[in-house]
A and B are shown apart, each in its own frame.
Chain A
Amino acid sequence: MVDIRSDASAAIPPAEVEDVELYHPRSWWTKYVFSQDAKIIAIQYSMTAIAIGMVALVLSWLMRLQLGFPGTFDFIDADHYYQFITMHGMIMVIYLLTALFLGGFGNYLIPLMVGARDMVFPYANMLSYWLYLLAVLVLAAGFFAPGGPTGAGWTLYPPQAILSGTPGGKDWGILLMLSSLILFIIGFTMGGLNYVVTVLQGRARGMTLMRMPLTIWGIFTATIMALLAFPALFVAAVMMLFDRLLGTSFFMPAIVEMGEQLKQGGGSPILFQHLFWFFGHPEVYIVALPAFGIVSDLISTHARKNIFGYRMMVWAIVIIGALSFIVWAHHMYVSGMNPKFGFFFATTTLIIAVPTAIKVYNWVLTLWRGDIHLSLPMLFALAFIVTFVNGGLTGLFLGNVVVDVPLSDTMFVVAHFHMVMGVAPIMVIFGAIYHWYPKVTGRMLNEAMGQIHFWVTFLGAYLIFFPMHYLGLLGIPRRYHDLGEAAFVPESAHTLNAFISVMALTVGAAQILFLFNLVWSLKKGREAGGNPWRATTLEWQTPQTPPAHGNWGKELPVVYRWAYDYSVPGAAEDFIPQNQPGLGGPTREAAS
């Protein structure tokens, strides 16, 4: 224990901000439905995100059934397959991961972890959720609209996205998708402004930015990125709506559709790709940074050791966030760009590996000689490190232009991004739910069910996506409804595909067990008490569990130290809460 950093200080400046007046709900409706309490909003966000995420999970089963056993299921024709792919991708990336990390965890954890009573503007926060719900409903309406949802691929590339060959292109599908995205962005902006201002201006006394838990740093940086990246998607969606509804030609080149020359022409499909990926690449880190932050806290807490290199971790988050805005065109190496752009974007892409590697080393060094408790959150955190490193390494392949060109649009890409921004963040989400469920409900999640859930999910997800790399190297294309008879596809590839599909169904079944656990433990789970993991951060120090409206009772907490005082020599316990002035126990008087 040499790298203990004790910046605990007894001199806390007096309050700069008066305690806020909270809105007090007067009826059941304003307390639980139209609630302005960030904790209720967080639960609403999470449940909606998980519900629509289940739809995306089922879609992935259907896709895997088709890929593993082509021709067996008649109802999955090519159109349906593309619709499943599109909706699966868009739901998972935006409506599940973004909404759950920022709307769910952000809402619950930010006020609690920085020691605030609530978000700074609870009313706007409430509107944010209802717009999100509306966006989800509009999106889901695509399934029931004439022509079904759009089948343009989750990237929605024009011109095909708005032409009649694509499912939903000339029907309702694409319109509902674009409208839903616009609603989501407006709703998210309302929430996102709240998260940022709460972190910047609404912290407890003594909570300097450099004492904040890394969870908050991750969510905070990701929210700023989202506020700057979503505008590009907003603009792209508006322009494509005009192309589709008014017949403008922002993205439409001169084109022949069904043997007929369209009136449109002179637009640039590449422009859409630039706008989309200016949003799309930061989006990867909007999902990854909260995961980085949360996993740092999980590892530190469950290894009973301070996080290694806290300042470096913070700067790495900030630098990754900044760099991610200048790498977007690495998604477009095969789109037809000036080769010099490829050089630039490959360079910036590879530079991102540096802060990312620093983070991975610091996680491992935090574990090094720690008192590792293999609790469920720790298991998921370890699984995250493994899958993230795997996905990160394949990212080095795809970031280089010459290596990417043969690999692009193969299953290798599917394997890469599912590892790095699918499985890895989902592992953190599970770990975080196992970690914070006791605070949200007052009860622990069932350990046995959790163990089954973990091992099936982790090993299963690995068995799904690891073999996909080999399929990709063989040249198996992605987004193909049916491989058919191709000379370069060996019989073993079909066998592997069938195996992957079986694993996908198995992993899916484990998620149903997880959902059951969430419900079952609500009533039957072991009582958790206020601080079951013996953690230092403020949310575990609330007077009530679950925290009451206003979080802190009469007095706001005062913060004396950083969030990682675990196993401090001489302290009474192996953790010192952030709001405790001295070392605790018998030495308390002497220390303070």
Chain B
Amino acid sequence: MAQSVQTHTGETLEHPLGLRGVVADISSDQRAFKNVSWGKAMMWIFLLSDTFIFGCFLLAYMTARMSTPVPWPNPSEVFALTIGGQEIPLILIAIMTFILISSSGTMAMAVNFGYRRDRRTTAALMLLTAVLGASFVGMQAFEWSKLISEGVRPWENPWGAAQFGSSFFMITGFHGTHVSIGVLFLLIVARKVWRGDFDTERRGFFTSRRGNYEIVEIMGLYWHFVDLVWVFIFAFFYLW
């Protein structure tokens, strides 16, 4: 089975149907993914690789949690804050999650305004995203210091399995590092947007290549990924 398609030059090419057609499309001329720029393709593939890193971290944590002979501390109690004399479970982490997910919203708006070449609004929204991200990291630092003051260490804690502290610091630390790197790059890109680099096609300092507003979207891909990872950490670490 075959169907004829027209090329840009007006000639007809036989185009196979079914699975063969899928292969022919993906393996077609020059680019496997049409209208996907190099930078965006690279970010997607990097995120796929990074998914495996977080996947391994989370699987290792689950293995440790299931195989340790000592009881696991109860997250609802460990991650509770006493506010006004009342102990509210998971309140801090709920706020942190809310902030981080909101920052995904501002990031998406920044991408939108970037493609409209509205550089001031784009830069402002990116800055807002960076502020939200930084406040997330700040609250995480607060949570860390609270747990440390209660005696949680990577090698021990007062409530049960030692792997609780080690997994907690390792996984949230690795995620926090991702958020911090994201904040740093948000600031760098926001500065470039603000300065109008992508309107004047100014060359990059290191790469000497001309940038464009797509970098805002690529930055956004990373940021949404970091958010998505947090949802999994939140579910597997705090809600389990």
A17: which B residues are within 8 A, CB to CB? 30-31
Contacts of A1-56 to chain B: CB distance below 8 A: 9, 11-17, 21, 23
A261 within 8 A of B: no
Q: Interface size of A by Cβ–Cβ distance < 8 Å? A: 55
Assess whether B7 is in contact with A13, with CB atoms less than 8 Å apart.
Answer: yes
A197 within 8 A of B: yes
A238 to B56, CA, bound (A): 11
Contacts of B27-83 to chain A: CB distance below 8 A: 27-34, 36-39, 41-42, 45-46, 48-50, 52-53, 55-57, 60, 63-64, 67-70
Min distance, Cβ B148 to any Cβ of chain A, angstroms: 13
Q: 1/0 contact trace for B143-165 toward A, CB 8 Å? A: 00000000000111000011101
A196: which B residues are within 8 A, CB to CB? 45
Residue in contact with B170 in the complex, picked from A197, A242, A247, CB distance below 8 Å: A242
Min distance, Cβ A88 to any Cβ of chain B, angstroms: 27
* Interface-lining segment among A101-109, A201-209, A390-398, A501-509: A201-209
B41: which A residues are within 8 A, CB to CB? 197, 200-201
* Interface-lining segment among B116-124, B182-190, B204-212: B204-212
A206: which B residues are within 8 A, CB to CB? 29
Residue in contact with B52 in the complex, picked from A15, A231, A239, A263, CB distance below 8 Å: A231
A265 to B64, CA, bound (A): 11
Closest A residue by C-beta to B203: A21
Min distance, Cβ A332 to any Cβ of chain B, angstroms: 14
* Interface-lining segment among B8-16, B129-137, B216-224: B8-16
A234 within 8 A of B: yes
Min distance, Cβ B172 to any Cβ of chain A, angstroms: 14
A569 to B37, CA, bound (A): 41
Assess whether B60 is in contact with A208, with CB atoms less than 8 Å apart.
Answer: no
Min distance, Cβ A552 to any Cβ of chain B, angstroms: 15
A477 within 8 A of B: no
Contacts of A278-335 to chain B: CB distance below 8 A: 278
B180: which A residues are within 8 A, CB to CB? none
Contacts of A214-271 to chain B: CB distance below 8 A: 227-228, 230-232, 234-236, 238-239, 242, 246-250, 263-268, 271
The A-B contact count (CB < 8 A) is 154
Assess whether B31 is in contact with A200, with CB atoms less than 8 Å apart.
Answer: yes
Known: A246-B155, A249-B155, A271-B63. A235 touches B53 (CB 8 A): yes
Residue in contact with B155 in the complex, picked from A193, A228, A263, CB distance below 8 Å: A263
Residue in contact with B30 in the complex, picked from A205, A263, A265, A278, CB distance below 8 Å: A205
Assess whether A246 is in contact with B206, with CB atoms less than 8 Å apart.
Answer: no
Assess whether B53 is in contact with A231, with CB atoms less than 8 Å apart.
Answer: yes
Assess whether B27 is in contact with A250, with CB atoms less than 8 Å apart.
Answer: no
Closest B residue by C-beta to A23: B208
A396 to B192, CA, bound (A): 58
A21 to B212, CA, bound (A): 14
Closest A residue by C-beta to B161: A266
A263 to B153, CA, bound (A): 13
Assess whether B27 is in contact with A210, with CB atoms less than 8 Å apart.
Answer: yes
Known: A23-B208, A123-B207, A204-B30. A250 touches B166 (CB 8 A): yes
B17 within 8 A of A: no
A113: which B residues are within 8 A, CB to CB? none
B207: which A residues are within 8 A, CB to CB? 23, 121-123
**4 nearest CB pairs, A to B:** A209-B27, A248-B166, A231-B52, A235-B56
Residues on A lying within 8 angstroms of B by beta carbon are 9, 11-17, 21, 23, 120-123, 189, 193-194, 196-197, 200-210, 227-228, 230-232, 234-236, 238-239, 242, 246-250, 263-268, 271, 275, 278
What are 27 A-to-B residue pairs whose CB atoms are below 8 Å?
Answer: A9-B13, A21-B210, A23-B209, A201-B30, A201-B41, A202-B38, A204-B30, A205-B29, A207-B30, A208-B29, A209-B26, A209-B27, A228-B48, A228-B49, A232-B56, A239-B60, A246-B166, A248-B154, A248-B170, A249-B163, A264-B155, A266-B161, A266-B163, A268-B67, A271-B63, A275-B56, A278-B56
